Amino acid sequence: MSAAAHNMANAHDHNHDHDHQAIPSDPALRVKALESLLVEKGLVDPTALDALVDTFENKVGPRNGARVVARAWVNPAYKKRLLEDAPAAIAELGYTSGQGEHMVAIENGPKVHNLVVCTLCSCYPWPVLGLPPVWYKSAAYRSRAVIDPRGVLREFGAQIDEDVEVRVWDSTAELRYLVIPERPAGTENWNEAELAALVTRDAMVGVAKVPAPGEKA
Amino acid sequence: MNGVHDMGGMQDMGPIRYEQDEPVFHAAWEGRIYGINASLRARGEWNLDAWRHQIELLPPADYLQMTYYERWLRINEQLVVKHGLATPAELAAGSANPGSAKATPALTQGMTQDMTHAGVARHLGRGIPSSHDPKTPPHFQVGQTVRARNIHPIGHTRLPRYARGKVGAIVRDHGVYTFPDTNAHFQGEKRQHVYSVRFPARELWGGQAPPQDSVHLDMWDDYLERV
């Protein structure tokens, strides 16, 4: 946020007595003050915070989802389980977490392209994709994905044919959606690990296709 | 609440700003507020729906100007005061009043036996106020045509404005979940079925939408009526 925006936000606060606090406007300082206070009160353990940051920076992310997709591509029985009971199939690979116990996998095909959004905020399948990128949480994406998904897809560089159904999933409840993209041509002889390296986060949200080998993502 | 957070179908919000190789957290404080938020939520003083509603109560102009984690910071400052865990003076000082009560961090209690990722995840998972319950019967069946009710509650709801009054078809029954509209206000879980409802894009947006396109929303029983 710009300094001007900060000043405007603060000016606004001072007209709201429910929120009148002489606290620093810099979020870094405010977070530091909040953490110090909560640690002193025994409400927060700083080592637990370290563990959480490490989890999302280093252990959970779209590589998890890519492994799920690659296995579904090479193993029809696994794909069937994934489509019928995604939480159980994803847990087979060792991934479980808070925003993920109600996972649903949705499959792209020649006649349907799926795209996931949370118009109300930021719901996202954490265990398979990690925390959402800023654009996914932005007003621009949340507002347009449901009314103009083809425009959004064009902006991301995805070519979707006229006769394909674009099917948008607005995550309004506790279900979390993972798109199984189409396996690109030219990968018939690839193994699971090679395929997983090809699968992108954007394809699993549905704003892009998985690029064919040698094609730019 | 017909708030600014309910953005589906709004126009002229500008281009989608895509960042290549985006970091998980853009500054150290974002990771810290993420962890603080998770630690406080694990205590259970406020549920996930009440947490979401607190974000929706941010003044609209502030909501639009804040970054995502600035919103998290603001509402955590508000929630600790609202639920009596700290005073505004303590927040300003960054230290506790002499003699104030001392607790044991809930997240640490859950993680001490199991500091693995799965241990963290299991503990966080308890905060999700939803579950399956085979004893609660569904009010609608897969394949049935339904209308999203035209309601405008002043409190929390997960029924977006753009779907209200629109007709769709139930494509999947997801089982039983806590009803956010009551749970957010600590008025009970009111468990009921949630369905995937398919709305043709033209039902939502008129003739400008391609005839084959659709939007699926997850809808609680109380959001739907028979056609």
Does residue B219 surpass a pLDDT of 80? yes
Q: Looking at the structure, do residues B84 and B167 belong to the same domain, yes or no?
A: no
Q: Which residues in chain B (110-169) have CB-CB distances under 8 A to chain A? A: 111, 115, 117-118, 120-122, 124-125, 127-128, 130, 158-160, 162
A122 is a catalytic site residue:
yes
Tell me the chain B residues in contact with residue A121 when contact means C-beta distances shorter than 8 Å.
5, 52, 55
Span B119-142, average pLDDT: 65
Does residue B70 surpass a pLDDT of 80? yes
Asked if residue B167 belongs to a domain, the reply is yes
Asked if residue B5 belongs to a domain, the reply is no
Asked if residue B163 belongs to a domain, the reply is yes
Q: Looking at the structure, do residues B115 and B162 belong to the same domain, yes or no?
A: no
Span B69-82, average pLDDT: 98
Structure tokens at A196: 């997983």
The range of the structural domain enclosing residue B106 comes to 28-125
Does residue A208 surpass a pLDDT of 70? yes
Catalytic residue among A118, A138, A143, A171: A118
Q: Taking the domains of chain A in order of start, what are their residue ranges? A: 24-59, 61-205
CATH number, domain at B66? 1.10.472.20
CATH number of this structure's domain A61-205: 3.90.330.10
pLDDT at position A13: 41
More confident residue, A156 or B121: A156
pLDDT at position B132: 59
Average pLDDT of chain A, as a whole number: 88
Is B213 close to A50, i.e. CB distance below 8 A? no
Distance from the Cα of B197 to chain A's closest Cα (Å) equals 10
Does residue A85 surpass a pLDDT of 50? yes
pLDDT in tens, A18-39: 444 444 569 999 999 999 999 9
pLDDT at position A157: 94
pLDDT at position A181: 98
pLDDT at position A19: 46
Does residue A185 surpass a pLDDT of 80? yes
Does residue A46 surpass a pLDDT of 60? yes
A123 is a catalytic site residue:
yes
- The one-letter code for the residue type at B33 is I
Find the CB nearest B32 among A47, A49, A140: A49
Asked if residue B34 belongs to a domain, the reply is yes
Of B91, B125, B159, which residue constitutes the final position of a domain?
B125
Average pLDDT of chain B, as a whole number: 90
pLDDT at position B127: 36
Q: Looking at the structure, do residues B60 and B149 belong to the same domain, yes or no?
A: no
- Residue B109 · residue B185 · CB < 8 Å: no
Distance from the Cα of B84 to chain A's closest Cα (Å) equals 12
Nearest CA in chain B to A103: B174
Catalytic residue among A25, A36, A97, A122: A122
- Residue A172 · residue B195 · CB < 8 Å: no
* ipTM for the predicted complex: 0.93
More confident residue, B118 or B7: B7
Q: Looking at the structure, do residues B115 and B149 belong to the same domain, yes or no?
A: no
Highest mean pLDDT among A17-31, B35-49, B112-126, B200-214: B200-214
Is B118 close to A156, i.e. CB distance below 8 A? no
Does residue A45 surpass a pLDDT of 50? yes
pLDDT at position B103: 84
Of B125, B156, B190, which residue constitutes the final position of a domain?
B125
Tell me the chain B residues in contact with residue A22 when contact means C-beta distances shorter than 8 Å.
92
Find the CB nearest B160 among A43, A127, A172: A172
Of all residues in chain A, the percent with pLDDT exceeding 70 is 85
Is A31 close to B62, i.e. CB distance below 8 A? no
Span A133-145, average pLDDT: 98
Residue B55 at interface with chain A, using a CB cutoff of 8 Å: yes
Range list of H helices, B23-159: 28-43, 48-56, 60-65, 68-82, 88-93, 106-111, 117-125
pLDDT band with cut points at 50, 70 and 90 for residue A8: very low
- The pTM assigned to this predicted structure is 0.90
pLDDT at position A216: 66
Span A188-200, average pLDDT: 96
Asked if residue B113 belongs to a domain, the reply is yes
Q: Looking at the structure, do residues B34 and B115 belong to the same domain, yes or no?
A: yes
CATH number, domain at B184? 2.30.30.50
Nearest CA in chain B to A137: B68
The two beta strands, A176-180 and B145-148, are: unpaired
More confident residue, B109 or B112: B109
Q: Looking at the structure, do residues B69 and B153 belong to the same domain, yes or no?
A: no
Q: How many domains does chain B have?
A: 2
Is A49 close to B177, i.e. CB distance below 8 A? no
Is B130 close to A102, i.e. CB distance below 8 A? yes
pLDDT at position B99: 83
Is B8 close to A119, i.e. CB distance below 8 A? yes
A118 is a catalytic site residue:
yes
Does residue A6 surpass a pLDDT of 70? no
Residues A68, A82: Cα–Cα separation, whole Å = 9
pLDDT at position A33: 96
Does residue B128 surpass a pLDDT of 80? no
Helix, strand, or coil (residue B51) = helix
pLDDT band with cut points at 50, 70 and 90 for residue B123: low
pLDDT at position A7: 38
Does residue B131 surpass a pLDDT of 80? no
